[in-house]
Amino acid sequence: MTLVTDVRLRRVLDSRGNPTVEADVLTEEGGFGRAAAPSGASTGEYEAIELPASEAIAKAREDAVPRLVGEVHAGNQREVDAALHAADGTDDFSSIGANSAVAISMAAAKAGASVAGMPLYQHLGGTFRGNSFPIPLGNVVGGGEHAADATDIQEFLSVPVGAPSVSEAIFANAAVHQEVHDILIDRDVPSGKGDEGAWAPSIDDGEAFEIMDEATKAVADEVGFEIRFGLDVAAAEMYEDGAYQYSDRERSTEEQVEYIADLVREYDLKYVEDPLDEDDYEGFADLTEQVGDRTLVCGDDLFVTNTDRLGDGIQQGAANSILIKPNQIGTLSDAFDAIELAVENAYGHVVSHRSGETEDTTIAHLAVATDAPFIKTGAVGGERTAKLNELIRIEDNAV
C-alpha cells in the first residue's frame, strides 16, 4: 500500500552552500522517497514563492503534513499535490513555500515508485511514452547572474545534436567544457567557475561566441558527430528603463530582437532561452516568427512552468518551447500540466535544473518520462553530474 505514514523535513545544503528543504516520505509496507528542492538565482517575477528553508519547513509541518499523513497515497501523485495546494491555499505557494511543496511532491513520487517496484521514470510516465532520451544542454561558459565580471549573456550551452546516445552526448559536453578551458589558457585568459560549473572568464560576449564556435567544432571533429551551441540570455535581468543594458551599449526591444536573430543565423544556434524580457510576449512572437523555424526559442521567465502564462504565449505565437522547472510551479502535477499543454500545441519542453542545486536526480527521470527533447543540467560538478550519471544509468538499464 502507498498510504503516507510519515513526512520528515529537514534543512540541507544546496550547491551554493545555502539551506534548502529536503523531504522524506514514508508509506505503509516500507515505501520510501527522498527529494530536495533546488533554488534559482535569476528567478522570474511570476515564479512560485520560495520561503527561507526553516520557515518553509515549519509551515509545511503545521499545514501540509497533517493533510498528507494517513490521508493520501504516494502512488497517486494528483492526490498528493492536491493536498499540498489545499494546505497552502494560495496561487503561488506563498504560505508553505514552493521549496517545501516541491520537495514533498518529488519525494512522494519516489515513494510511490518504490512501492510499485519500478524506476521513477516509469512511474511518472503516465500518458507519455517515456522511452526516448533527451539531448543534454551543457553550460560551459557563463556570466550574468551566475558569475561576476563575466559575459552579459548568462549561459553559452553546448548542444550535441548528433550524438547517437545520451551517454555520448554527456561526455561530448564534458569535452567541450575542457576544450573551452584549453582555449582560454591558449589565449592567456584566467577563469574561475560560476554557480553551475561553467567557465566564467572576464571576456565579452563576442569573444565567448568565438570560443564556443571553436570549441564545439573541435570536439565535433574528435567525436564524429554534430555539436552546436545555444544561449540562455536571461534578458529579464538586463532589461531596465525600457532597454536591454549590455556592458558596452543598450539595445531597444527592436534592436534586441534583431541582434538575437542575427546571432541565430550567424552561429546556427540550436537553442535560445529568454532572449527578451519576461513580459514581452510581442517581442518573443516577433523573434519566433523570424527564426523559430531554425531554432528553439524557449521561455523560462516568460512562462515559469505556468499553464496560464504558457496559454497566453501559445495564443500570441510567443516562443516555440517552454522550460520546465518543478520548483518554479511547486508540484510535479503542475509541471506535468505545463508539459501536456506544450505537447498538445507543438511546443517543445526542456526540463531544467536550477543554479542552486542538490544531488537530487528527479529531473533526469522527469525528462525521460515525458519524452523531453532536451534536458538542461550543466556539464560538470557533483550536483550536475548526479543528474547526468542518472541519465546514463537509465539508458543502460533500458537497453
- Residue 340 within a domain: yes
Residue 40: per-residue pLDDT: 82
Which residue type, as a one-letter code, is found at position 4? V
End-to-end CA distance of the chain: 30
Same domain (yes/no): 105, 141: no
Kindly report the CATH number assigned to the domain that includes residue 96. 3.30.390.10
Range of the structural domain that residue 80 is part of = 4-117
* Whole-angstrom Cα Rg for the chain: 20
Give the domain-ending residue among 117, 148, 175.
117
- Residue 212 within a domain: yes
pLDDT-wise least confident of 31-45, 98-112, 244-258: 31-45
Helix (H) or strand (E) holding 7: strand 4-13
Tell me how far apart the alpha carbons of residues 379 and 139 are, in angstroms, rounded to a whole number.
6
Same domain (yes/no): 105, 208: no
- Residue 126 within a domain: no
DSSP string, 191-246: EEE-TTS-EEES--HHHHHHHHHHHHHHHHHHHTS--EEEEE--GGGTEETTEEE-
- Residue 109 within a domain: yes
Same domain (yes/no): 200, 295: yes
Tell me how far apart the alpha carbons of residues 75 and 163 are, in angstroms, rounded to a whole number.
35
In the set 59, 325, 376, 387, the catalytic residue is 325
Residue pointed to by grid coordinates 563575466:
150
Same domain (yes/no): 179, 314: yes
**Cell of residue 158, nine digits:** 553546448
Residue 257: per-residue pLDDT: 98
- Residue 365 within a domain: yes
pTM summary value = 0.96
Residue 383: per-residue pLDDT: 97
Q: At what angle do helices 77-88 and 98-116 cross, to 10 degrees?
A: 160
Residue 158: per-residue pLDDT: 98
- Residue 385 within a domain: yes
- Helix (H, G, I), strand (E, B), or coil: what is residue 374? strand
45 in catalytic set: no
Same domain (yes/no): 264, 381: yes
Same domain (yes/no): 74, 149: no
Same domain (yes/no): 105, 201: no
Per-residue pLDDT at 199 exceeds 90: yes
110 in catalytic set: no
Same domain (yes/no): 112, 247: no
- Residue from 180, 105, 193, 182 nearest 148 by CA: 193
Same domain (yes/no): 21, 59: yes
Tell me how far apart the alpha carbons of residues 284 and 293 are, in angstroms, rounded to a whole number.
14
Same domain (yes/no): 82, 189: no
Residue 399: per-residue pLDDT: 62
Tell me how far apart the alpha carbons of residues 49 and 307 are, in angstroms, rounded to a whole number.
17
In the set 47, 179, 196, 390, the catalytic residue is 196
Using DSSP bridges, classify how beta strands 199-201 and 32-36 pair: parallel, antiparallel or unpaired. unpaired
The alpha carbon torsion through 297, 303, 306, 307 (nearest 10 deg) reads -60
Kindly report the CATH number assigned to the domain that includes residue 227. 3.20.20.120
Same domain (yes/no): 150, 20: no
Using DSSP bridges, classify how beta strands 135-142 and 374-376 pair: parallel, antiparallel or unpaired. parallel
pLDDT band at 127 (very low <50, low <70, confident <90, very high): very low
Q: What is the pLDDT of residues 174-186, one digit of tens each?
A: 999 999 999 999 9
Tell me how far apart the alpha carbons of residues 271 and 36 are, in angstroms, rounded to a whole number.
28
Domain count, the chain: 2
